[in-house]
Homo-oligomer: A and B are copies of this chain.
Amino acid sequence: MEISIRNLQHSYNGESVIKNIDLSLKKGEFVSIIGPSGCGKSTLFNLITGLEVPDEGDILFDGKNMLGKRGHSSYMMQKDLLFPWKTVLENVLLGPTITKQEAQEAVEEARSLFPMFGLEGYEHYYPEVLSGGMKQRAALLRTFLHKKELMLLDEPFGALDALTREKMHSWLLDIWSHMQRTVLFITHSIDEAIFLSDRIYVFGPRPTEVILDVKVPLPRPRNKEMTVTPEYLEVKQQLMNALYEMN
């Protein structure tokens, strides 16, 4: 599935938030977005998932206009939004429940992923007792189990320590390469963006627009050693310049 976003504009209460965004994803591509806090990244995701309708512009999936259409992508919001009335297991099964997947199968798959996500033993707990990072992991697992071709991840690793984060990185790249899911990824970490992505968009401050679109020239599969290669450092420098120039 190819996604292309054209001339997108959006405003809240008459104040422009997204000035003009053009953006495209190829099938199976992993693309990251970085940009200053409050610039409109989450807003873009809300537009893509159809939760909000832009003032202007098009969102095309394989050429088909998807403005205001919903249910075509798995979306991990910035807040964890676990339902307090569901146990962790029930929470992560939200997707399969909504798409009316076969229950038994879904439960088995979910359960098999609990250790990987460091949530083993918490299946039947209510989310209230989870630590901040555990909540985020549960939300990520929930998003993953809602299997759509496009995955939108809004800072999925913000509350994770380096180690857990790396584990998650390799897991994410693993399932991504196996399952050919297209990923659009918001992060604040330049390193994370480079390590994971095929391409990176840099957004400017609100009202935002794309100020840079860089290809990451690193081969797949990635490994930690690549983070000291000159290609890596060059991209990093480029991104940092773009971000710092904003001031």
Enumerate chain B residues within 8 angstroms of A188, measured Cβ to Cβ.
133, 159-162, 165
Q: Considering only CB atoms, which chain B residue lies closest to A78 in the complex?
A: B132
Q: State whether the Cβ of A85 lies closer than 8 Å to any Cβ in chain B.
A: no
For this chain, the copies found in one complex come to: 2
Given contacts A38-B118, A118-B37, A137-B37, contact A190 B162 (CB under 8 A): yes
Q: State whether the Cβ of A65 lies closer than 8 Å to any Cβ in chain B.
A: no
Q: State whether the Cβ of A71 lies closer than 8 Å to any Cβ in chain B.
A: no
Enumerate chain B residues within 8 angstroms of A240, measured Cβ to Cβ.
162
Q: State whether the Cβ of A23 lies closer than 8 Å to any Cβ in chain B.
A: no
In the complex, are the beta carbons of A164 and B37 less than 8 A apart?
A: yes
A162 to B133: give the CA distance in the assembly, Å.
20
Q: A78-B159, A163-B243 are in contact. List 13 more A-B contacts (CB 8 A).
A: A34-B162, A36-B163, A37-B131, A37-B164, A38-B118, A38-B134, A42-B132, A78-B132, A132-B154, A155-B159, A158-B159, A162-B240, A163-B244
